[in-house]
Amino acid sequence: MPTDQIKPLQEWWRGAVIYQVYPRSFLDTSGDGTGDLQGIISKLDYVAGLGVDAIWLSPFFTSPMRDFGYDVADYCDVDPLFGSLEDFDTLVAKAHHLGLRVIIDQVYSHTSDAHEWFGTSRLSRDNEKTDWYVWADPKPDGTPPNNWQSVFGGPAWTWDNRRRQYYLHNFLTSQPDLNLHNPDVQEALLSVARFWLDRGVDGFRLDALNFGMHDLALRDNPPRTTFETEPTRPFDFQDHIRNLSHPDLPAFLERLRALLDTYEGERFTVAEIVGPQPLSEMKEYTRGHKRLNAGYSFDYLYADEISASHVQKVSDNWTDGDDSGWPAWAFSNHDAPRVNTRWGGEEADTATARLFAMLSLSLRGTVFLYQGEELGLPQAEIPFDRLQDPEAIENWPETLGRDGARSPMPWTESDHYAGFSSVDPWLPVDMRHFPLAVDRQEADDASTLNFVKQLIAYRKKSRALQRGTISFLQSPADLLAFIRQHDEEILLCVFNLLKNDIRWTEAPDSPFSVLHTNRRAVTAELPEVIPALTGFWLKKTK
C-alpha cells in the first residue's frame, strides 16, 4: 500500500478533522440505487479538497443489512452491495496517495445471526463455538434469565429452539451478542483487526464498545430513579450496570492497542460509548498510552439544543493533562438528526449552518464532519412509506429517526436524483437538498461549502485550534467566548447562539482582528453588539 504519501506527524489525530462517509448514501456507480466503494473512490479528490485529515467509513462488510451493516455476517469481506476487497484496496491506495488516512468501523459487541460463528454456536451446547455468544437457561417458568432490555425495544433475550436456551442481543434480535469474556473470541476479533491493518487501514472506530462485556452472574439491572428526559423505550427505565461497561473490558482494549502499536506509523482508535455514564467510561478507555486514543462523545449529537453553558460544561470535562484522555466531537452522524435542523429548526439558513461549522471546528479535540454537513444540509424529510430504518419505523412519528440523516448526498443540482444515482435511490432525495448540491456550491465563492473549506484550512495550520488549550471568558450568560492558545498564538472565539443580539461591553482589551465570521458582512474588529446567531474567529495581533 502506498502509504509513503502520508507525512508522519506525531499523534496526527490530535485536533484532526475526520470526514465520515456513509457508503450507502455517498455515490452509486453500479446503478442499483445504493452507494458503493467505487463511488467513494471517484469522490476522494472532493474529500481531499475539503482539507480533512482522514475519512471514516461506516460498515461495508458482508451483512444481511437488517441494521444496515452494523449486523456483520463476515468481518473480513466486502458486501457485494458495495463492491469487493479489490475495490477496498484501491480505495485505501488512492486515499493514501491523496494524503488521507482511512478509519473503518469495527463492531466487536455483536454479529449478525447470519454469521457462521453464530450458526455453529447455536447448533449445540458442546461444540467449538458453544461459548462464543451469551447463552442462558430460562427461569423455571420459562421466562428470560433476567430483566435486561434491548436498545431497540423489548427484552434483550430471544429463545432459540436449537439449544433450548436464550441468547443475548442488546440491539435487534438478529444481532446476537458476542461473549467477549471468552479468550477465543478475543483472539478472533484481534485477527479481524490484523486483517484490515494488513490491508493498510489507519485505525478503527469501535462501535457500541461498552456493550462488549456483560455481568457473568446475569443479575438484574436496577430501575433508574431519575430521568433527565422522559423515557421513550423500556431500555430507558433501567440503570445498565449489569449489561454495560464491565470492568474487564479495558484489558481487552490494551490487547488491541498492543496489536496496533506493532504496525509502522501511528494508528488511531476511537471508542463509541453510549449509555448513562459515557464520560467516565471514555476517560477509562483512553487513560494513559496503552488503551484507545480518543472517546467519541455524544454530548452534542444527542443534544436537542445548544447553549453557551452546555459547551463550557462539556469542554470542562476534558483537562489538558497528558493522562486525561482526548475527546472527539461530532455534531451530526448517521444515527442523529442533522445538526442544522436539530439546533437551528426548520427556519435554519446558510448563516446558521456556518455558525455550527465554526463552533465545531473551534473546539479542543478531534472533529468528525459528517458527509453533507459541509453543505449545510437540513434533516431530510422521509415519508413513512419510504422509511428503511427499523428504529424510525418503530417510533414513527415520535422521533425524526435516522433515515433523514442518511439520505443521498446531493452532487448535481440539475440531475433528477441529485447526481447520486441513475435510478430511484434506496432513500429519496429531499427537494431542499438540490439547491445545496456540491456543483452549485463549488461555483459559489460565498457558499457554505467554500466557507467550511476556509475554516478547515485555517485550523490545519493553527496549532492553537489543533492542540492548544481552551479557556472560557467571563461574558453575558448567553454568550460563548473562549481563548484557544498554543505558545504565542492566541485566538478568540465568540459565538452568539441565540436568536437575539447580545451586547458585550467587557471583551478583551488586547487587539484582536477578525479572521472569519459566519455572516457575509465584513468587519475588521469585534463589534460591541454581537448579532444573533453569529460567530467570530479573531487573532491577537500584538
Q: What is the pLDDT of residues 158-214, one digit of tens each?
A: 999 999 999 999 999 999 999 999 999 999 999 999 999 999 999 999 999 999 999
Tens digit of each residue's pLDDT (9 = 90 or more) over 456-511: 999 999 999 999 999 999 999 899 999 999 999 999 999 999 999 999 988 888 89
Residue 247 preceded by cis peptide, ω within 30: no
Tens digit of each residue's pLDDT (9 = 90 or more) over 18-50: 999 999 999 999 999 999 999 999 999 999 999
Residues 6+ apart with CB under 8 A from 302: 336
Number of helices (H), then strands (E), in the chain: 14, 20
Other CB atoms within a 10 A radius of the CB of residue 523 amount to: 11
Q: What is the mean pLDDT of residues 95-113?
A: 98
Q: Which residue has cell 425524526?
A: 400
Torsion-angle region of residue 419: left (phi > 0), alpha (psi -120 to 50) or beta? left
Does position 278 have pLDDT exceeding 80, yes or no?
no
pLDDT for the residue numbered 513 = 93
**Full 3-state SS string of 115-160:** CHHHHHHCCCCCCCCCCCECEECCCCCCCCCCCCECCCCCECEEEE
Tens digit of each residue's pLDDT (9 = 90 or more) over 375-405: 999 999 999 999 998 878 877 877 767 999 9
**Residues annotated as catalytic (active site), given as ranges:** 207, 272
**DSSP state, 37?**
H
Report residue 279's pLDDT band, with 50, 70 and 90 as the boundaries.
Answer: confident
Handedness of CA 163, 164, 165, 170 (dihedral sign): positive
Report residue 1's pLDDT band, with 50, 70 and 90 as the boundaries.
Answer: very low
Give SS3 for 346. Answer: coil
- The answer to whether 374 and 450 have CB atoms below 8 angstroms apart is no
pLDDT for the residue numbered 2 = 39
Report residue 276's pLDDT band, with 50, 70 and 90 as the boundaries.
Answer: low
Does position 3 have pLDDT exceeding 60, yes or no?
no
Residues 6+ apart with CB under 8 A from 355: 495, 497, 518, 533, 534, 535
Which domains are seen in the chain, by residue range?
Answer: 305-363+468-542 (2.60.40.1180)
CA 489 to chain centre: 30
Phi–psi pair at 533, nearest 5 degrees: 50, 50
Give SS3 for 244. Answer: coil
- Compute the distance between CA of residue 107 and CA of residue 109 in angstroms, rounded to an integer: 6
Tens digit of each residue's pLDDT (9 = 90 or more) over 198-220: 999 999 999 999 999 999 999 99
Residues 6+ apart with CB under 8 A from 273: 209, 210, 281, 282, 285, 295, 296, 298
Tens digit of each residue's pLDDT (9 = 90 or more) over 34-92: 999 999 999 999 999 999 999 999 999 999 999 999 999 999 999 999 999 999 999 99
- Compute the distance between CA of residue 433 and CA of residue 375 in angstroms, rounded to an integer: 9
Please count the CA atoms within 13 angstroms of the CA of 430 that sit on its side-chain side: 18
pLDDT for the residue numbered 232 = 79
Higher model confidence: residue 281 or residue 363? Answer: 363
pLDDT for the residue numbered 261 = 96
Other CB atoms within a 10 A radius of the CB of residue 125 amount to: 14
Does position 100 have pLDDT exceeding 90, yes or no?
yes
- The answer to whether 463 and 9 have CB atoms below 8 angstroms apart is no
- Compute the distance between CA of residue 526 and CA of residue 337 in angstroms, rounded to an integer: 33
Considering the chain, what is the average pLDDT of its residues?
A: 93
